């Protein structure tokens, strides 16, 4: 009786097989949203004369199903759901990696994280002069700055530490945030108990709940009178650990004391609950609502492309159904993330797209929409979605690729090649089995060989792991 453990699931029968890869991946709670949604169809769309602003809002460790529009059973996210209803909700949106910093390397550079040594960190932790985005390296911000954009980053950077690396050295005019992977929401200490909050490169103090501090900064940034279009990276740490909602200052005080005394971990393995997690995500949602209201109030909502996504799949309190796995794995639960694009007046409202897209695509897309060009020495690994979004063209077929120290994945069409951390190869057909349980590795050896070879070809061009 060779039984084996397992526990989580797609409901393709509900929706029917045709668009199963995308549509099936949404729960009942999402059904209400879906009923209103029309499939996004590529078509020629009038491009506004004025170049848009770009607001990129990143959640941190937010899982695929943590928003009501993506199926959350109890968390309610009306503002993000409304953002989705104002534009396009992607059901096959992927993060560049399954951990925090590599995805950010991908977003900021438009290239595979494995092209820079710092991008190999899972996540980046060492403070040295190697692991970061070099000051002469082009970024999303520097490319936009080069064509006249004002740029700012608020929140988590996580692509290299001072004194060697900083967002303000690679294209962001302004930075207010933390350099590392996580800070306490109130005290702003990092995992080592060291204070990590900066204004540019100068240490700053702000004891407000971090999500709120960032939100107020974003509102202020958006409201400024200016002549140039702008790019704002608003990188919340919500809902990353520690498990502290806006009411949990006492939890923060206790945890901070313990971390500073070496008597506890900021990762907070002895805290949190689904209730606290819900309060964090719903606070994130309200915060995004405030930022969107600022855009609306200032009359910029029609001139601003808003992208909302997460840096990786869900952590311990996340909801990732119908997927399996989570942060640190390359199962769908580790890399499929809520992905919303809104550009009222230019993109249609209330659409859903089942096209597979990945972090670096957004870099290429934004650079093209801004009228900039990628650096010839540093070509994008992402594909601009502009032909798909605005010019009536289909997205080209291309494999999506992920590489971690102990995991591999490649998606080609609906097939997914996965190598797990025990070194074993797997093959799944996501059109039938997004839950990744029916391993076709023995039944379809030719497909396995083909996808594995494609993986090795792409990986061969990247930096080795230490």
Asked whether position 274 contacts a copy of itself by CB under 8 A, the answer is yes
Measured from the CB atom, is 13 or 44 closer to a copy of itself?
Answer: 13
Question: Shortest gap between Cβ of 11 and a copy of itself (angstroms)?
Answer: 4
Under the criterion CB under 8 A, does residue 318 sit at the interface with a copy of itself? yes
Note whether 321 binds a copy of itself by CB under 8 A: yes
User: What are the backbone dihedrals phi and psi of residue 362, each rounded to the nearest 5 degrees, phi first?
Assistant: -70, -35
Taking the least distance from each CB to a copy of itself, the nearer of 2 and 44 is 2
Identify which range of 69-77, 110-118, 137-145, 455-463 contacts a copy of itself by CB under 8 A: 69-77
Please report whether residue 63 would count as binding a copy of itself according to CB under 8 A. Answer: yes
Q: Could you give the CA distance from residue 418 to residue 406 in angstroms, rounded to a whole number?
A: 11
Paired tokens of 374: 């990628």
Write down how long the chain is: 466
Span 411-440, contacts to a copy of itself by CB under 8 A: 432-435, 437-440
Nearest alpha-carbon partner for 451 in 421, 423, 410, 419? 410
Q: Where are the alpha helices (DSSP H) in 119-265?
A: 140-145, 210-223, 249-260
Single out the residue of 239, 325, 338, 356 in contact with a copy of itself (rule: CB under 8 A): 325
100 is catalytic: yes
Judged by beta carbon, residue 338 or residue 382, the one nearer a copy of itself is: 338
Is the distance from CB of 91 to CB of 351 less than 8 angstroms?
no
Which of these is catalytic: 79, 100, 117, 268? 100
Task: Tell me: does residue 275 bind a copy of itself (CB under 8 A).
Answer: yes
DSSP bridge partners of 357: 93
Q: Within positions 125 to 144, which residues make up the interface with a copy of itself, using CB under 8 A?
A: 125
* 28 lies in the site for a copy of itself, by CB under 8 A: yes
Which residue number, 281 or 390, has a Cβ lying nearer to a copy of itself? 281
CA 149/CA 100 separation, integer angstroms = 26
* Number of residues located near a copy of itself, criterion CB under 8 A: 71
Answer yes or no whether residue 2 interacts with a copy of itself by CB under 8 A.
Answer: yes
State the Cα–Cα distance between residues 26 and 322, nearest whole angstrom: 7
Say which residues have a Cβ less than 8 Å from residue 246's Cβ, sequence separation at least 6.
185, 209, 211, 212, 279, 283
For the CB of residue 16, give the shortest distance to a copy of itself in the complex, in Å: 10
CB of 320 to a copy of itself, least distance (A): 6
Is residue 242 a contact point for a copy of itself (CB under 8 A)? no
102, 313, 356, 374: residue in contact with a copy of itself (rule CB under 8 A):
313
Give me the catalytic one of 79, 117, 137, 158. 158
> Is 99 an interacting residue with respect to a copy of itself (CB under 8 A)?
yes
114 binds a copy of itself (CB under 8 A): no
Distance (Å) of CA 418 to CA 8, 325, 401, 443: 18, 12, 10, 15
> Binding string, 153-192, against a copy of itself, x = CB under 8 A?
---------------------------xxx--------x-
Which three-class secondary structure state does DSSP give residue 395?
coil
User: By CB under 8 A, is residue 113 in contact with a copy of itself?
Assistant: no
Helices (H), 246-273: 249-260
Q: Does 329 bind a copy of itself (CB under 8 A)?
A: yes
Which is nearer to a copy of itself, 246 or 272 (by Cβ)?
Answer: 272
CA distance readout (Å), 88 to 20, 29, 239, 271, 405: 18, 18, 23, 36, 33
Q: 211-228 burial, b if ≥16 CB within 10 A, otherwise e?
A: bbbbbbbbbebbeeeeee
Strand partners, 391: 44
Tell me the CA distances in angstroms from 103 to 36, 127, 144, one per residue in order: 31, 18, 20
Closest approach, Cβ 165 to a copy of itself, in A, equals 16
Q: Do strands 351-353 and 88-90 pair parallel, antiparallel, or not at all (unpaired)?
A: parallel
Q: In angstroms, rounded to a whole number, what is the distance separating the alpha carbons of residues 64 and 315?
A: 10
**Interaction of residue 5 with a copy of itself, rule CB under 8 A:** yes
Piece in contact with a copy of itself (CB under 8 A), picked from 45-53, 144-152, 226-234, 271-279? 271-279
Q: How far is the CB of 75 from a copy of itself (least distance, A)?
A: 8
Quick check: 310 binds a copy of itself (CB under 8 A)? Answer: no
Minimum distance of a copy of itself from residue 14's CB (angstroms): 5
Find out whether 398 and 432 touch, Cβ atoms under 8 Å.
no
Active-site amino acid positions: 100, 158
């Amino acid at each position: 009786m060779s039984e084996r453990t397992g526990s989580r699931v797609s409901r393709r029968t509900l929706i029917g097989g045709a668009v199963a890869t995308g549509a099936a991946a949404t729960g009942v709670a999402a059904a209400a949203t879906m009923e209103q949604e029309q499939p996004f169809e590529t078509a020629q769309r009038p491009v506004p004369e004025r170049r848009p602003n770009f607001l990129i809002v990143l959640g941190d460790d937010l899982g695929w199903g943590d928003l009501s529009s993506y199926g959350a059973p109890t968390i309610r996210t009306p503002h993000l759901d409304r953002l989705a209803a104002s534009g396009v909700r992607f059901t096959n949106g992927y993060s560049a990696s399954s951990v925090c910093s590599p995805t950010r390397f991908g977003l900021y550079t438009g290239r595979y994280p494995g092209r820079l040594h710092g991008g190999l960190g899972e996540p980046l932790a060492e403070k040295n002069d190697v692991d970061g985005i070099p000051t002469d390296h082009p970024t999303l911000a520097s490319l936009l700055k080069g064509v006249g954009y004002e740029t700012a980053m608020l929140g988590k950077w996580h692509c290299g530490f001072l004194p060697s690396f900083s967002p303000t050295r690679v294209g962001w005019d302004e930075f207010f945030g933390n350099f590392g992977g996580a800070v306490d929401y109130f005290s702003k200490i990092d995992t080592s108990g060291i204070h990590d909050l900066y204004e540019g490169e100068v240490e700053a103090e702000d004891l407000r709940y971090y999500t709120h501090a960032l939100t107020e900064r974003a509102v202020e940034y958006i409201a400024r009178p200016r002549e140039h279009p702008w790019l704002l990276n608003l990188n919340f740490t919500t809902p990353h650990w520690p498990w502290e909602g806006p009411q949990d200052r006492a939890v923060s005080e206790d945890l901070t004391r313990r971390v500073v005394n070496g008597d506890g971990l900021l990762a907070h393995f002895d805290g949190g609950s689904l209730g606290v997690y819900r309060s964090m995500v719903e606070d994130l949602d309200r915060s995004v609502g405030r930022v969107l209201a600022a855009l609306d109030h200032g009359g910029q909502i029609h001139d601003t492309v808003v992208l909302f996504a997460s840096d990786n799949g869900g952590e311990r309190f996340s909801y990732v159904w119908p997927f399996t796995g989570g942060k640190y794995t390359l199962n769908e639960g580790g890399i499929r993330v809520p992905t919303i694009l809104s550009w009222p007046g230019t993109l249609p409202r209330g659409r859903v797209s089942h096209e597979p897209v990945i972090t670096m695509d957004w870099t290429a897309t934004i650079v093209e929409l801004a009228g900039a060009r990628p650096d010839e020495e540093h070509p994008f690994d992402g594909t601009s979605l502009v032909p798909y979004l605005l010019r009536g063209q289909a997205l080209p077929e291309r494999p999506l690729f992920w590489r971690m120290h102990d995991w591999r994945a490649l998606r080609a069409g609906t097939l997914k090649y996965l190598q797990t951390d025990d070194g074993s190869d797997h093959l799944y057909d996501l059109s039938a089995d997004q839950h990744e349980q029916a391993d076709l590795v023995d039944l379809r050896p030719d497909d396995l060989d083909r996808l594995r070879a494609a993986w090795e070809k792409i990986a061969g061009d990247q930096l080795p792991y230490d």
